[in-house]
Amino acid sequence: MKMFKIKSRLTLPILILILFQSVSAVGQSMLRDEIDIPNILGYITLKCDFHMHTVFSDGNVWPTVRVEEAWREGLDAIAITDHIEYQPHQSDVVTNHNRAFEIAQGTAQRLGIILIRGGEITRSMPPGHLNAIFLNDCSELVKEEYIDAIAAAVKQGGFIIWNHPGWRGQQPDGVARWYQDHTELLNKGWLNGIEVVNSTEYYPEVHRWCLDKNLTMFGNSDIHIPTNMFFDFSRGDHRSMTLVFAKKRTKEEIKKALFSRRTAVYFKDKLIGEERFLRPIFKNSISIKNQKLVLKGRAKVALQIHNSSDLVFRLISDSSLDEVKAPKRITLYPHKTVLFSVQAREDSIAFKKKIDLPYRVTNLLIAPETPLPVAITVDVKFIPSKKR
């Protein structure tokens, strides 16, 4: 691919935009919306976005704005990944592939956001667009051949993510396809993860690839404009993000977690990932307030389940039990307690028993079109109704 020759110039409109954003940030109080998702398996659950852009490629904001957005929206870590080859603002902003990171670093330190240096290798398909993160010098990625750019990233200890494999700009039908180039990168150990979700698109086939090929799952915003112009936060919207299960809240531990495939994707009201992570998230989010039930005859008894997280869980049951009746559908809303009725099917039985009410959590996907199976466990004492 032909490299670009860049002129260094900053125009008045860009200066005015930067000044306005800076004054706005200083003149207003900033409030942070924390994202309450439980820690699991001895790890800290970190909220991360590893794909976003600034004016240093084709984004519309100054680098510090990306950090401030992340802080307000409850994130722990971000990577600014401006395009290496694509520089549409080259007449207005100097092309320096490390400059966005350098500008944002001070704000990130002040706000406690973990900032990761990265860049987007931007090529036609195959192999498509790939993010390289945890770099020391993004300018080393300026190479004629894409394989040399990836090799330069790997040499720095970089982690390579295949971005938006089903992007209609390269796959007109929106279906991700695996090419020989990706097999070669995988065999070299140079392809480490894929975006299962990019912005508002979920790629089921990529979810399956990650499970079958042992690749790390990502969900990223790929945001170019200000986030509050894309998401309606007043209606509960949030950016697509990657949940990272790390031993500590540090850049080094995030990197270890990514190479160990300890991630899940938070997309709209869905969690997408491996069962080993989604099951403990569900388990650590809910509690049964009255686990011991006394069922007298066929009288209904109220079971109360509390959801302590910011997640919503949509449960459906496809099977019935011989002993009890329970609702077919249950929705566990964030920070709410739901009450639903349980009753015995027979009014002449008398015994104690631990019962698992079987459900599937339809918005927790452990594979494409495969909801997480769960059980609501209760201790039931059956008391027969009095004979007339």
Two domains, one topology: 12-273 and 285-383: no
Provide the 3-class DSSP secondary structure of residue 36.
Answer: coil
Beta-bridge mates of residue 80: 117
Q: What 3-state DSSP class applies to 254?
A: helix
Q: Position 244: which residue type?
A: V
- CATH classification code of 12-273: 3.20.20.140
pTM: 0.89
| 364 sits in which H/E element | strand 351-367
* Spans of all domains in the chain: 12-273, 285-383
Instruction: Return the CATH superfamily for domain 285-383.
Output: Immunoglobulins (2.60.40.10)
State pLDDT tens for residues 72-122: 999 999 999 999 999 999 888 989 999 999 999 999 999 999 999 999 999
Per residue in 209-222, pLDDT (tens digit) is 999 999 999 999 99
pLDDT tens for the 388 residues of the chain, in order? 333 333 334 444 554 455 455 444 445 578 999 999 999 999 999 999 999 999 999 999 999 999 999 999 999 999 999 999 999 998 889 899 999 999 999 999 999 999 999 999 999 999 999 999 999 999 999 999 999 999 999 999 999 999 999 999 999 999 999 999 999 999 999 999 999 999 999 999 999 999 999 999 999 999 999 999 999 999 999 999 999 999 999 999 999 999 999 999 999 999 999 999 999 999 999 999 887 888 777 778 889 999 999 999 999 998 877 788 889 999 999 999 999 888 777 776 777 888 889 999 999 999 999 999 999 988 888 888 765 4
In order, the DSSP letters of 66-122 are HHHHHHHTT-SEEEE--BSS--TTTTTS---TTHHHHHHHHHHHHHT-EEEEEEEEE
